[in-house]
Amino acid sequence: MSDALFFPMVAPGERLPPVYNEDGVDLSLIRWMLSLTMEERLLVLQDHINTINMIRDEITIS
Amino acid sequence: MKSPLANFLEILKVLTKHEVDFIVVGGVCGVFHGAPITTFDLDILRATDEANAPKLLGALDELEGRSRLHQKVVKPNHGHLKARGHLLLNTRFGHLDILATIGKGHDYDDLIQQAKTGSLQSISFRLLDLETLIKTKEEVGRPKDLAVLPVLRATLREKG
């Protein structure tokens, strides 16, 4: 299935770099990370860890 | 018990302040190279020579490093470092794993030529190049390593 069919925000005929590679890896995330500085990449990771830890520490599921 | 806020930059600052010889490896290394992956610990490969041990122990004392395998407080010491195994620690800035070898037994001296220099704020440190990080994960071949390989390989290709 082409990206244009799969993603409704992509106009028919609009040519964009492929989003997924053959392993199903989201290349748009990689391109976004590569656009960041090393420090910004580290902050992204730390924010993820701290958010997940906060949820794990405080969540109650009933 | 609340988890400490992860601040790997502060761990790196303390390690460099104590002039510890180490290479950042593992998931954080992948993130530094631009891979959109998540990990919960900072992995470093330490130099195993005698001179590095007191510097590392000094840094771990400042970081309040403790074994995360024990309920009681177990601080890292010279004996632990001589054993050349993995030290899995909690610190006041998050989880820190100190490794003597990675992949199929590669130590610091084996991999220092494959290290790049990372610079963040006021510090510089070594991190494994992405090609070698991929190679060591391929060597080990555990499911957790294999799972991240497609993202690391795609990142390497996108970097060009």
| Structural domain of A50 | 3-58
The number of folded domains in chain B is 1
Query: Would B42 be classed as within a structural domain?
Result: yes
Q: What is the DSSP letter of B2?
A: P
Q: Is A20 on the interface with B (CB under 8 A)?
A: no
CA distance B131 to B145: 14
Q: How far does A54 lie from chain B, in Å, by closest CA? A: 8
* ipTM of the prediction: 0.74
For B38, the enclosing helix (H) or strand (E) is: none
User: Which domain CATH number covers B140?
Assistant: 3.30.460.40
Query: Would B2 be classed as within a structural domain?
Result: no
- Quote the distance between the C-alpha of residue A30 and its chain's center: 8
Q: Place B109 in a pLDDT band, splitting at 50, 70 and 90.
A: very high
Q: Decide: B43 and B133 in contact? Cβ < 8 Å.
A: no
Most confidently predicted of A1-5, B114-118, B121-125: B114-118
The number of folded domains in chain A is 1
Give the number of C-alpha atoms closer than 13 A to the C-alpha of residue A4, restricted to the C-beta side: 6
Query: Would B1 be classed as within a structural domain?
Result: no
Predicted local confidence at residue B43, as pLDDT = 95
Residues 119-148 of B with CB under 8 A from A: 119-121
Chain B positions touching A24 (Cβ under 8 A) are 150
Percent of chain A, pLDDT > 70?
A: 82
pLDDT higher than threshold 80 for residue B93: yes
Q: Are A45 and B40 a contacting pair at CB < 8 A? A: no
Number of CB atoms found within 10 A of residue B97's CB: 17
pLDDT higher than threshold 60 for residue A5: no
Q: Place A51 in a pLDDT band, splitting at 50, 70 and 90.
A: confident
